[in-house]
Amino acid sequence: MTYSFRMTSEWWRTAAIYQIYPRSFADANGDGMGDLAGITSRLGALQELGIDAIWLSPFYTSPQRDAGYDVADYCDVDPLFGTLADFDAMVAEAHARGIRVIVDLVPNHSSDAHEWFQAALAAAPGSTERARYLFRDGRGADGSEAPNNWESVFGGPAWTRVLEADGTPGQWYLHLFDSSQPDFDWTNEEVREEFRRILRFWLDRGVDGFRVDVAHGMIKADGLPDFTPPAEGGSMGGVSPAASGVALEPEISAEPADSAPYWGQDGVHEIYRDWRTLLDEYPDDRILAAEAWVDPLSRLANWVRPDEMHQAFNFAYLETPWNADALRRVIDDSLAAFAAVGAPSTWVLSNHDVVRHATRLSVTEANPQGHGLGPRSKGLPEYASGLRRARAATALMLALPGSVYLYQGEELGLPEVIDLPDDARQDPTWFRTAGERYGRDGCRVPLPWESAASSYGFGPTDASWLPQPAQWAALARDAQRGDPASTLSLYRDALALRRARDLGAGTLEWLPGFPESIVAFRNGGVLVIANAGASPVELPAGDVLLTSEPLDGRTLPADSTVWLAA
């Protein structure tokens, strides 16, 4: 196989990485669930978009209690998504198109259907089988109270009691997420060795890296002490509850959950050093990207020290409201924090766990991360104003130096789907909170490809595991492709310019002389001006390279971003 990658050395420092959520990207066999063959068939569209790599959320064997983040076999493909041969074909096709492939690694917990957990249930307390997970005796005279007061990220207690072999209530096991996701005990060398095997399995199949799920949670404090989190911590890992609504205070580093005995423990770092050594044995820059909800950014930088991971998701940026002050601050903090350890900053606005930014940036009420939006939610924007901000925010992000992450469908301007019927919802958050939190289904609805086709081209039938809104016909990729004013064209143009002008490798210099509500900087030969205020602003001289909204002569309207030639 001849590869035609754009960059061969340290490609990850500047890469545009596109997240594929396999359930919802493209369905080749018409069962309503996306699959690997569907991904392979649509890679041409991603090549055309101009991204450097794809990251796939889990496609491994799984009961799908948490959409595949509950893995039963780390080294196989779930029949829902295809086979290992389909995976190999997908990687080969991606590589032939110059697209690298990153897969998701879920090391904090397995599925309860994993053979190790089934063996642990069948074995006695104190056995080596139980020692791979966090089994503990309960509190109280008869052990009927959970071992500590920790709560699951998805709501409800973080412990579940098992029945012992003789049918009597017995020990408890820890699950920071759903009860079907028991946490591994990462102090156990057997667990460490197993994950080295899993890393090698996928590296040997040619993957270019791993996005590491819950990379801040694998080590728990000794003794598993009680902990009461600050009110309304972020749901994926206990950081800022900021939702980016206009009416909210800029809040990029609210009460950190750093003191939580299950997040950000120092012991995680030796695991990543070990993995880095392993990855470095392979040619061609294979990477590790941390999903670590850690505050503040200067602390997150510990995940990307030179001998640890390559990248960490910048959730502080994602959680920043559409507010010029807050944006300047988070950009400065990010560049400084990552540069201090020699790592690139990353930037991200959407993923499969948060309200899509075409909706989120105009929501006017707090919406803690992971809680989602539904018909009862307050402060919902109308679509046009959300999309306008999203386009402006994206145009700003794509001009920043470093690496950017895009989430499938944002290039179509897809909004969060708010009115999903209750009986269609599948996020464990919805069930574990008895419908109090909507959860994340609204950002996971299958993509529209062709406006006139069944399931809008998602698959060859009408089937779609979450219903697609009728309004999505107009947002389908084929409807946007030839329209220079479409969101798809904006993404493609911005990615092409970003690449041509090497903005990912550039240096940011703030431009003085603009009103407070304007974010203005120079990156190489590009001046970037984003108007997060309510009034239009006069533009300086310079040819217009890109604009998120039509300009009014030489003025930049509210909620829009322009790139000018410097």
Question: Which of residues 99 and 289 has its CB atom nearest to ligand NOJ in the complex?
Answer: 289
CB of 445 to ligand NOJ, least distance (A): 15
Question: Which of residues 353 and 416 has its CB atom nearest to ligand NOJ in the complex?
Answer: 353
Instruction: Name the residues that contact ligand NOJ, by CB under 6 A.
Output: 66, 69, 106, 177, 213-214, 236, 291, 352-353
Q: Which residues are catalytic?
A: 213, 281
DSSP secondary structure, 125-137, as one string: TT-TTGGGBTEEP
Q: What is the 3-state secondary structure (H, E, C) of 439-494?
A: CCHHHCCCCCCCCCCHHHHCCCCCCCCCCCCHHHHHHCHHHHCCCCCCHHHHHHHH
CB of 67 to ligand NOJ, least distance (A): 7
Question: Which of residues 291 and 295 has its CB atom nearest to ligand NOJ in the complex?
Answer: 291
Question: By the 8 A CB rule, do 26 and 459 touch?
Answer: yes
Question: Which of residues 24 and 523 has its CB atom nearest to ligand NOJ in the complex?
Answer: 24
CB of 106 to ligand NOJ, least distance (A): 6
Mark 91-105 as b/e (b = at least 16 C-beta within 10 Å): bebbbeeebbbbbbb
Q: How far apart are CA 33 and CA 464, in angstroms?
A: 6
Question: Which of residues 289 and 476 has its CB atom nearest to ligand NOJ in the complex?
Answer: 289
CB of 311 to ligand NOJ, least distance (A): 15
183 bridge partner residues: 109
Question: By the 8 A CB rule, do 518 and 537 touch?
Answer: yes
209 bridge partner residues: 102, 287
Q: At what angle do helices 383-397 and 487-500 cross, to 10 degrees?
A: 10
Sequence-ordered list of residues with C-beta below 8 angstroms from that of 66, at least 6 positions apart, any chain: 177, 178, 180, 181, 428
Q: How far apart are CA 284 and CA 272, in angstroms?
A: 19
Question: Which of residues 352 and 498 has its CB atom nearest to ligand NOJ in the complex?
Answer: 352
CB of 426 to ligand NOJ, least distance (A): 12
CB of 420 to ligand NOJ, least distance (A): 17
Task: Give, in order, the Cα–Cα distances in Å from 175 to each of 114, 150, 299, 343, 388.
Answer: 14, 9, 25, 32, 40
Backbone angles phi, psi at 362, to 5 degrees: -120, 10
